[in-house]
Amino acid sequence: MSKKTGSHAKPRQRSKGKKAVLIAIVALLSVLALLLIAGGVYVKVMLGRIGRIDPSQGSYVTSIEPDPLDPEFSGEIIDDPVEINDAVDSVNAIEVQGNTKVISNILLVGVETDEGNRNDVQNYDGRSDSMIILSIDKYHKTIKMVSLLRDSYVAIPGHGYGKLNSAFRYGGFDLLSQTIEQNFRIKIDQFVAVNFKAFTIAVEAMGGVDIVLTDAEIEQFRKNNHEVPVKTNAEGLCHLNAEQTLYYSRIRAIGDDWGRTTRQRTVLKALMQKAKGAGIGTLNNLVYEVLPYISTNMSDGEILGYVANVPAYLSYEVSEKMIPDRSECKEVRVTGVGTCVGMTDPTASVLALHHFIYG
């Protein structure tokens, strides 16, 4: 195995407009719950607006070009990744976990799309840039959100090894769920996906969100020529419009992808909080406008099953986790794949994930 070391420098900022797509799925479910009072016919109309993807009909690819070599990359460059491949496969002996009588796992997927196709509501031909396991525990009355880093180096069934976010581009949710099951030993049957446009529509329909920003985050808006948020109190609370929220959720210069996924979950929680106090008119507008940009493999009956419990879910304690955590991995450059995040002890990381979700 040949290794080379790049020069030491700050990680590059990968601020691409197609990155970090995320929508408040729980907030949307809460909207549907409130709309139940309007009667079954109206709910049926709303459910009919949800997009549906046939996982076998996507315009998938057989290969993905690696990112260009970053001259400032400071980690290992590996030409023959036998050792890291063996580490990835070391989790195969861990028992696969799935839904239980009290725990349900749903995968929230934000799909990046090419700039020219962002207004196409049917376009999900892209990589899964954001992946969050939403775990609902009815026994302990908790909601747990687990961000899976998109650059995680994983085994992709039928495609060798690569980045986790490539699996969706190769084979849609079917392949992504197989990849998560093989590498993280969690079986996920249900997903909700959004494409790029849904994010700004949802935030705009909710009238923006209120988020505490650090001085460093505000400086990123200024440095990248975005409208700079204004602090409204001493703690740094700012009111963000749709475009500001989108930019905030994709900042990578602070904390790399770990910081970025934390900001995504912050937005998700802020939208959930906003939904609790929103009026029926605002919620109606939100659900009507956003549903066409959502795709799921859940049936109407399964969706309504979640909807019936949403008022209770919104009172649940929310906790969050990233996998891998920064302390559990190292950044490597695999020839032919690109810059990846490799877990230093995959077995320990996967068992910690299971403990977080299942206790």
Instruction: Please give the chain's pLDDT, 359 residues, in tens.
Output: 444 444 343 434 443 333 333 344 545 554 555 444 444 555 667 777 776 655 555 678 888 887 776 666 677 778 778 888 998 999 999 999 999 999 999 998 888 765 555 566 566 777 887 898 999 999 999 999 898 998 899 999 999 999 999 999 999 899 999 999 999 999 999 998 877 677 778 888 888 999 999 999 999 999 988 999 999 898 899 999 988 998 898 787 887 777 877 888 888 888 877 877 777 677 677 777 777 777 888 888 888 788 777 778 878 898 989 898 888 888 888 888 888 888 999 999 999 999 999 98
**0.75 cut: is pTM over it?**
yes
pLDDT score of 24: 44
For helices 300-307 and 40-48, angle between their N-to-C axes, nearest 10 degrees:
120
Cβ neighbour number for residue 94 with a 10 Å cutoff: 15
pLDDT score of 7: 38
pLDDT score of 9: 39
pLDDT score of 41: 53
